[in-house]
């Protein structure tokens, strides 16, 4: 289709999306100056029956008429043209350059109330116009909201599922189920959408943004057990004002009759919140920006910086609690990271007291500690570079100091044997201190003539003769010998550690091979055993292990294990390619990953709150595909436990399979179709 010319003027640039009944293209209008870009939606009925073609043509024309009216709004794409070629139908809409709202609503990063209120107001204003035209969108979600680059406004797209009703007709006739489950209210799921079904979807977007939850976790917020059955329980997961929480709750009421009946009603309540908070938002923003400027990389604020913040808080008329909350928000990440670095340094010092160089196990443990603390490799290397030399020098210094102390005071006199004399210093004496630290009295004046015997004894000149410091070859030799002994001791200690490390490594190699046997990985176990040298102390044990592994290959030591931790019937199981794990899907709406060696559950995935009918590993054992009762194919990352991609059928998915290269996923569904998807982009490649 690329480069093909449609209707003699729209040249296709690329295929943007492929769906069950058609495709969406990015094209350019070669008949307009500058050849501006546009979107072309291509509808293929998939039948040649005249009656169905006429029905499709009638519905297509009605949709075009609706889009023509909606395109009058600045934040809805404008309809340029619609036409038919070879019983296939085309819609041409204005091109919107921007990014989807799904790039702003990121799991784990809740939006603040200051950002949430303007976003909801802007979208409710669009809904006021759409509902005023008697149209229900039925598929409002972050992916269908585009942030336009030119003016930063949100644009509501994808009206392919619109449904026109008469404004005075409050009860819409029963229709097909269209939409995205996470944002779909119960009445729409039951084929009976209302105008305020769109308000529900917008409220769920607000709750998703305020809680930071991924979309697939939104159904789990529904209370199905207590008295308020069916209501969304979310306030405990978010930080927002009571007023905004009340508005969101009224937008997502389970019963549409208790929900806001119009977008204008919800918008009026939201504007009241904005009027009350508008005066304080700039002040808080100003203070937050100043705290960010005054904070150092260690999360500290200088004395002068503290004075600046105190004066600014007073001038902005902020409460101390408000200022403290902002400072905690800005500075805590720095402080927590610094504290983690200090804990790593302490652990490193304690480990060096026990062994150095570090064994392989200790290195692995330090690496794991670094990962748990969230330290970067650069910071960990810096800490180790400071600690290791300091610790070795400390050991050498203490050893030398101990030897020297023993030579300087070989036989210290006991304190009790020293004569007890009461001496009085003579004011006539002015002792000098020489460079050796000894008191030098050679220049002291003698006691005056006629002094009493007591005064003569008290005279320093009379009891301390002048000393001459001489070179002591024995002390020098002892010092050199102590240094050499310390160096030799450290060298011997390092060699002993090296020998011990090699012994530990050999023991570890055998333990790793034994672990392969315990994990029932018999082939790898047999291939690794020849690496054990016949001179090793583990050689005989290795030979016994080899016989046990050979028995394992022949199923002579097979054991039956019972994995009984699902709470309902199991619908699907699959082994990982390496045979170490088992995946199971159940009617209890969970997926379990099991360790076959221990029988323990390694990870539990909550899925999309529906029965799991099928599971399949990729060839590397790093990803898992599941098919659910909510019509969905879900692709999981087994390391992170996160959903990589979610793909939709229109009925339960009974079977899934991944291609050997992991680039494709196939799914078979109760909607009587088999689909082939691109796992990287989520694009539908084949619909069989």
Q: Which residue has the tokens 């229900």?
A: 136
Give Cβ neighbours of residue 180 (< 8 Å, ≥ 6 apart). Answer: 139, 141, 648
Helix (H) or strand (E) holding 507: helix 473-518
Whether 251 contacts 200, CB under 8 Å? yes
Helix axes 377-408, 360-373, angle to 10 degrees: 130
3-state secondary structure 649-687: CCCCEEEEEECCCCCEEEEEECCCCEEEEECCCCCEEEE
- Within 10 angstroms of residue 459's Cβ, the number of other Cβ atoms is 23
> Are 653 and 627 in contact, with CB atoms under 8 Å apart?
yes
Instruction: Decide: 594 and 581 in contact? Cβ < 8 Å.
Output: yes
Handedness of CA 560, 566, 570, 573 (dihedral sign): negative
Distance from CA of residue 412 to its chain's centroid? 65
Cis peptide before 55 (omega within 30 of 0): no
Q: Which of 29, 74, 139, 300 is catalytic?
A: 139
Bridge partners, residue 90, by sequence: 42, 83
From 673, 678, 676, select the one nearest 650 (Cα to Cα). Answer: 673
DSSP result, 456-504: HHH-HHHH---------HHHHHHHHHHHHHHHHHHHHHHHHHHHHHHHH
Residue 373 to residue 302: CA distance in whole angstroms? 27
**Alpha-carbon torsion, ordered 73, 78, 81, 85, to 10 deg:** -120
Instruction: Tell me the C-alpha distance between 218 and 142, whole Å.
Output: 13
Torsion angles phi and psi, residue 643, rounded to 5: -80, 125
Distance (Å, rounded) from C-alpha 351 to C-alpha 39? Answer: 63
Q: State how far the Cα of 189 lies from the Cα of 460, in Å rounded to an integer.
A: 107
For 518, the enclosing helix (H) or strand (E) is helix 473-518
Pairwise CA distance, residues 381 & 18, whole Å: 49
Residue 671 bears catalytic tag: no
Query: What Å distances lie between residue 413 and 198, 417, 419, 464, 528, CA to CA?
Result: 96, 7, 11, 18, 67
**Residue 528 burial (10 A CB sphere; 0-12, 13-18, 19+):** buried
Q: Are 622 and 638 in contact (CB under 8 A)?
A: yes
Tokens of 99: 């990014």
* Positions marked active-site: 139
């Amino acid at each position: 289709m690329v480069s093909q010319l449609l209707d003699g003027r729209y040249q296709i640039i690329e295929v943007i999306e492929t769906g069950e009944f058609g495709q969406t293209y990015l094209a350019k209008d070669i008949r307009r100056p500058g050849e501006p870009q546009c979107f072309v939606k291509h509808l293929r009925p998939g039948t040649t029956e005249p009656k169905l073609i006429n029905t499709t043509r009638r519905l297509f024309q009605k949709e075009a008429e609706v889009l023509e009216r909606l395109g009058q709004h600045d934040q809805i794409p404008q309809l340029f043209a619609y036409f038919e070629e070879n019983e296939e139908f085309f819609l041409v809409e204005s091109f919107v350059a921007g990014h989807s709202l799904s790039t702003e609503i990121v799991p784990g990063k809740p939006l603040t109330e200051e950002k949430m209120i303007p976003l909801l107001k802007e979208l409710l204003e669009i809904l006021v116009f759409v509902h005023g035209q008697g149209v229900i969108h039925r598929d409002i979600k972050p992916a269908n909201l585009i942030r336009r680059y030119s003016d930063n406004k949100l644009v509501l797209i994808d009206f392919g599922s619109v449904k026109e009703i008469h404004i005075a007709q409050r009860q819409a006739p029963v229709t097909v189920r269209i939409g995205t489950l996470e944002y779909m209210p119960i009445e729409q799921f039951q084929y009976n959408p209302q105008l305020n079904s769109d308000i529900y979807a917008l409220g769920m977007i607000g709750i998703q943004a305020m809680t930071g939850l991924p979309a697939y976790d939104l159904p789990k917020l529904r209370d199905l057990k207590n008295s308020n059955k069916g209501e969304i329980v979310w306030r405990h997961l978010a930080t927002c004002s009571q007023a905004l929480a009340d508005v969101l709750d009224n937008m997502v009421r389970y019963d549409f009759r208790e929900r806001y009946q119009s977008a204008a009603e919800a918008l009026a309540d939201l504007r009241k919140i904005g009027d009350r908070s508008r005066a304080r938002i700039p002040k808080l923003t100003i203070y937050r920006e100043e705290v960010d400027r005054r904070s150092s990389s260690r999360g500290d604020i200088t004395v002068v910086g503290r004075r600046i913040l105190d004066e600014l808080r007073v001038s902005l008329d902020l409460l101390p609690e408000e200022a403290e909350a902002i400072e905690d928000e800005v500075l805590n990440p720095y402080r927590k990271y610094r504290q983690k670095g200090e804990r790593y340094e302490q652990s490193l010092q304690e480990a060096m007291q026990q062994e150095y160089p570090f064994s392989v196990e200790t290195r692995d443990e330090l690496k794991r500690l670094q990962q748990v603390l969230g330290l970067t490799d650069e910071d960990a290397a810096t800490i180790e570079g400071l600690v290791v030399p300091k610790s070795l020098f400390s050991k050498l210094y203490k050893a030398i100091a101990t030897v020297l102390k023993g030579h300087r005071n070989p036989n210290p006199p006991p304190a009790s044997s020293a004569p007890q004399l009461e001496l009085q210093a003579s004011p006539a004496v002015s002792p000098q201190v020489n460079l050796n630290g000894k008191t030098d009295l050679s220049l002291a004046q003698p006691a005056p003539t006629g002094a009493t015997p007591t005064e003569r004894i008290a005279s320093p000149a009379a009891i301390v003769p002048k000393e001459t410091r001489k070179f002591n070859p024995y002390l020098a030799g002892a010092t050199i010998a102590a240094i050499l002994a310390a160096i030799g001791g450290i060298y011997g200690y390092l060699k002993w550690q090296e020998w011990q490390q090699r012994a530990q490594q050999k023991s570890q190699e055998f333990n790793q091979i034994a672990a392969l046997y315990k994990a029932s990985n018999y082939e790898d176990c047999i291939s690794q055993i020849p690496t054990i040298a016949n001179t090793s102390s583990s050689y005989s044990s290795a030979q016994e292990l080899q016989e046990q592994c050979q028995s394992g290959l022949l199923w002579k030591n097979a054991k039956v294990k019972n994995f009984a931790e699902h709470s309902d019937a199991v619908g699907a199981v699959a082994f990982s390619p390496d045979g170490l794990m088992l995946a199971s899907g159940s009617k209890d709406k969970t997926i379990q990953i099991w360790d076959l060696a221990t029988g323990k559950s390694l990870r539990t995935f909550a899925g999309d709150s529906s029965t799991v009918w099928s599971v399949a590993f990729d060839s590397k054992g790093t990803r898992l595909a599941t098919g659910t009762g909510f019509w969905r194919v879900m692709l999981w990352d087994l390391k992170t436990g996160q959903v990589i991609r979610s793909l939709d059928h229109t009925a339960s998915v009974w079977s899934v399979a991944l291609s050997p290269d992991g680039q494709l996923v196939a799914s078979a569904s109760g909607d009587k179709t088999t689909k082939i998807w691109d796992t990287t982009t989520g694009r539908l490649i084949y619909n069989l």
